[in-house]
Structure 1
């Protein structure tokens, strides 16, 4: 899911305008990913990019459990693009969470499974630790891991209530990027495993260690 120019049809504005928390934004984003609602504030119309379709189950799962996603992409093998250049990319996802258990689980996932992780905590001084995720003829053209300033959040989430945007600025922004180039599914498989464990712990009343 890649942020595009903001536009939300009038009939969908009330649902997004009523969001007040990360939980609200996550539920709405999951509903948009699954086609229950037609538009996301950061998209000009329609559903997610076609490349996102296979990722919808895990992305919706992430959003409902408290990791509100903004951008994601699958890995793909070297491919001739629209301009005749050769493109290759690796899997990546970013989003926000204010749940310390999810934050800890993602840190552990990156350590144990060898993924790049970039964390921008609210109020912390951070560097631009972006990670290249797509290359064109060997040169990086897209990156994951840049921090979101308040004005970036306002641009990416137009039409949402100030309370919802404030919740994003108070949350940790986390990026996970596969170290493997090409069509590997290991990032999505690993996220599914971790979040299944997290949901099971919540249902059983236990806490992850």
Structure 2
């Protein structure tokens, strides 16, 4: 049976310092993300017929997942997808702002980058407990900002995840303790707007996102 695997990082664990420290990255990637992959594979072993489905397909259509493993796939499949995307949209040094079509859409639909940054930061700060803040594209092709609990993903509610920020405590607590707003502010120094803009372009063009991040063996 095809198994999901931990995707390789494109940079060393210390590459995102000083904004995300090496120890947090190492634990986050090798312990938390690996656990999501392992538990997802364990759940899917019970239903080998699901091996031909992509993770995107599963998360977009959770009702097709057998009830006995649906919660496990939702939590661990969501965790695998979310983290695989997260590592891709972070880059040492970051890139300052969106460009091209995404910039135009942010200006047109979210009142510009500064207003978007405030709205996104508020969504991340105000997420109660564990979860993620998201920039999404809806079925009508409009941008929006939202937050979701735990490892839930916009695919589960019929929207496209352009990028997300992890606000589980394990993502920041070693360095920032309870200072979530500081972690959120500093994360803007790391966002790879070239990657994010490319995801937006693809989503608008095809109304789907074929994920290169769904590593399987």
Structure 2 length as normaliser, TM-score? 0.27
Richer in helix (by share)? 2
TM-score, length-normalised on structure 1? 0.28
Structure with more strand by fraction: 1
